[in-house]
Amino acid sequence: MQKLIPANWGLIQRQLTPYLFLLPALLILGLTVFWPALQAFYLSFTQYEYDLTQPPQWVGLANFRRLWVDPVFWQTLRNTVLYLVVVVPILVVVPLALAILVNQKLRAMHWFRAAYYTPVVISMVVAGIAWKWLYAQNGLLNQLLKQLGISATGGIPWLTSPKLAIFSVMAVTVWKGLGYYMVIYLAGLQSIPPDLYEAAAIDGSDGISKHWDITVPLMKPYLVLVAVISAISATKVFEEVYIMTQGGPRNSSKTIVYYLYEQAFQNLEMSYACTIGLVLFLVILGLSILNLKLTKKGLGARG
């Protein structure tokens, strides 16, 4: 019996043990993520002829051709790109400034940290309803602007104007994410040795200039991380749009994810929704690969 056991069996066991520990998680991911993703990929090349109770029919690239000439899809894509262009720079710069402020050794500073982080733990449903009330025609924001003499009698149509709706939703996304990215930056700031700032002060670099000379270069990996994470989050934004505008008015605030939801669960166009989801997956995959490359590059430059 011992002759049947390989001589290097102990080495094989040590090599297989990590994979055995990973196997349960891999099975769960396979059943809940990978298999549904493969099904969605298959459905993007099919079409339900009558209803969802009948098996789908293979139609090849028909859904992609439909997507190519769909004006609503291109509008939602433009809205999503606009979301990236506006929201991401704010969520990269402003949380860093907040992190620098709350990193000061002052009395009761932990209360300020908790206050800035509070929006993160608030449910988006609650936040969306609250902001929708603030944006209302007779809401607190319009009433305040009216008292200051800035707004007209009818108030500013924050959520009913095609030009303002998407920017009003962006404000909620920024408000919700400031505290989360501030904590990421705060962890990076606390890893910077104080001796560097003392040496910079001796060389004449103090005040704001010391952050340009020391903080920003050393925080480059965190800046890249926040930029890519916020870009992926902005690409997948859904709850704010669903609660506050439902894509209106005239699709001006509709994003790709909301359009996917609309096609799948309102119009029951499951195959077409899977096609939109495939395009969204490719966009997010590209951002994720960019994240890995830039993060490795940033860590290499820091090291």
Phi-psi region of 157 (alpha: psi -120 to 50; beta: other; left: phi over 0): beta
pLDDT tens readout for residues 255-284: 999 999 999 988 889 999 999 999 988 888
Reduced to 3 states (helix: H, G, I; strand: E, B; else coil), residue 148 is coil
Q: What is the pLDDT of residue 1?
A: 47
pLDDT band at 3 (very low <50, low <70, confident <90, very high): low
pLDDT tens readout for residues 121-152: 999 999 999 999 999 888 888 888 888 877 66
Q: Which residues pair with 57 in a beta bridge?
A: 47
Q: Are 261 and 242 spatial neighbours (Cβ–Cβ below 8 Å)?
A: yes
CATH architecture of 72-302: Orthogonal Bundle (1.10)
pLDDT of residue 8 exceeding 80: no
What does the alpha-carbon distance between residue 295 and residue 153 come to, in Å, rounded to a whole number?
Answer: 50
The structural domains of the chain, with segments of one domain joined by +, span 72-302
pLDDT tens readout for residues 47-97: 987 777 788 899 989 999 999 999 999 999 999 999 999 999 999 999 999
- For the whole model, what pTM was predicted? 0.84
pLDDT of residue 24 exceeding 70: yes
Q: Are 280 and 69 spatial neighbours (Cβ–Cβ below 8 Å)?
A: no
Q: Which of the 8 DSSP states describes residue 46?
A: E
